[in-house]
Amino acid sequence: MKNNGYLYVFSSNSFYYEEADLLKEGRASNQIIRTIVADDHPYLIDGVEADLNKDSQIKIISTAESYDALLERVKELTPNIVLLDLKMPGQDKYNLKDFICTLKSLSDCKVIVFSSETGWARINRCLEIGASAYIEKAISIGKLAHFIHRVFENKEIIIYTAEQLPDVQVSKRQKEILHYMVDGKENNEIASLLNIDIKTVQSYINEIKSKFSEAFGIKPVKPRTLLLLASKLGFGTR
């Protein structure tokens, strides 16, 4: 059976750590979405253009075949959305975090990473440094316009991937602690609820972090990321 992909949606400030304007107002749903497609494969660009041109509210204002060209087009044309393939000429010249920040500062745009690569570590990294979505190319045909609208109009971070969430094996006690963590309980509250020492709680949390880091390939897994992924695995709301 063909894998149609897995969609994971988070609030817009879920992965960001350093931005001051996290919760900008959503955009009007009837606004034309000015979009730049950045990819160095002409056939893919043709396919994306054909797909997006079916949507009257999405206007492809330019394409770019390299990192340098993309900077120039964004500065000149101020798009709302940049569809960014990571593997283009010039990739080695730029720090990706600085590059995405520069794009967003030049145009107040949202960056959607549009990649043929997968893996939770890569996805997590792109979202942490400022991308608003990570969309895998191979499974996005016919769905790309929908994701562009959701990113543009809503306060959402979107992951669309062929990667299913891994099964993280935790003990009964670790599971209890994870539920409380996702529900927002502090370590001292968890210790009180479970009638154990706070140092014991921290020891369990360290074990949980290690298991999530190994399962997702994210090293180290940050506390906020741990809670987000745990919530998608069904922990919380006891």
Average pLDDT over residues 22-32: 61
Asked which of 139, 161, 183 is the last residue of a domain, the reply is 161
Report d(CA 219, CA 101) in Å as an integer. Answer: 23
The answer to the question of residue 186 being in a domain is: yes
Domain span at residue 119?
6-161
Mean pLDDT estimate for the chain: 89
Report d(CA 50, CA 46) in Å as an integer. Answer: 6
Domain check: are 200 and 124 in the same one? no
pLDDT surpassing 50 at residue 18: no
Domain total for the chain?
Answer: 2
pLDDT surpassing 60 at residue 43: yes
Q: How confident is the model at residue 10 (pLDDT cuts 50, 70, 90)?
A: confident
Does the pTM surpass 0.85? The reply is: yes
- For the stretch 44-100, pLDDT in tens is 889 999 999 999 999 999 999 999 999 999 999 999 999 999 999 988 899 999 999
Tokens 């709302």 belong to residue: 80
The pLDDT, as a whole number, for residue 13 is: 73
Q: Could you say which DSSP state residue 22 is in?
A: T
Domain check: are 54 and 102 in the same one? yes
Average pLDDT over residues 207-230: 92
- CATH value at residue 112: 3.40.50.2300
The pLDDT, as a whole number, for residue 19 is: 44
pLDDT surpassing 80 at residue 112: yes
SS3 content of the chain, % helix, strand, coil (to 5): 45, 15, 40
Q: Three-class SS of residue 224?
A: helix
Domain check: are 179 and 67 in the same one? no
